Amino acid sequence: MKRRLALPLAAVLLVAAAPALTACSFQSVVKDVSGGNVDVGGTSIPTDFPKDVPLASADVVFAAGLGSGDDKVWNVTVKVPDGEAYSSIEKQLTDAGFSGDFGARGANGGGTGTFSNGSYGVLVVVTDAGSNGWVANYSVSKGKAPSPTPTAGS
């Protein structure tokens, strides 16, 4: 379980720290941390992204896949028109057989929701990214949805 959480955390930290890694090869650092099981797709959705998980039809800001087998996780961020995009995202997911909802909605729009179809869990965050506009971030894992907050013992 610790490895399952450490790999996504390491990937996020590496992506955030990429500008500071000018003396190192970003690809080799990611490969070393992940054991080679990473697909930093950039603005392309990873080829093995689950077809069962619908994404908002929008420009991809960032996409990556990390791990393998049951420990595989994907992260895709797309631009959305505004905070009300969560309604269409929620409908897409429920129409595709996912259950769940946006339990936490922001005061200025957007929200955070968890969804599952038994095979995949999806954590979706729709937020205002400032000068970058509104984005929807999908974190997808096999099994149940990743928790938006840490739980005791994990």
User: Does residue 25 carry a pLDDT above 90?
Assistant: no
Phi and psi, residue 146, nearest 5°? -60, 145
Return the HEC string of 75-130: EEEEEECCCCHHHHHHHHHHHCCCEEEEEEECCCCCEEEEEECCCEEEEEEEEECH
CATH 3.30.460 matches 2-142: no
Separation of alpha carbons 71 and 89, rounded Å: 25
- Cβ-in-10-Å burial (0-12, 13-18, 19+) of 115 comes to buried
Task: State the Cα–Cα distance between residues 19 and 24, nearest whole angstrom.
Answer: 10
Phi, psi of 130 (to 5 degrees): 65, -125
Other residues' Cβ atoms within 10 Å of the Cβ of residue 107: 6
Q: CA-to-CA distance for 11 and 41, rounded, in angstroms?
A: 13
pLDDT single digits (tens) 63-97: 999 888 888 999 999 999 999 999 999 999 999 99
pLDDT digits (tens, 9 = 90+) for 116-140: 999 999 999 999 999 889 999 999 9
pTM: 0.71
Residues with Cβ within 8 Å of 24's Cβ and at least 6 positions away in sequence, in order, are none
Is the confidence at residue 11, as pLDDT, over 90? no
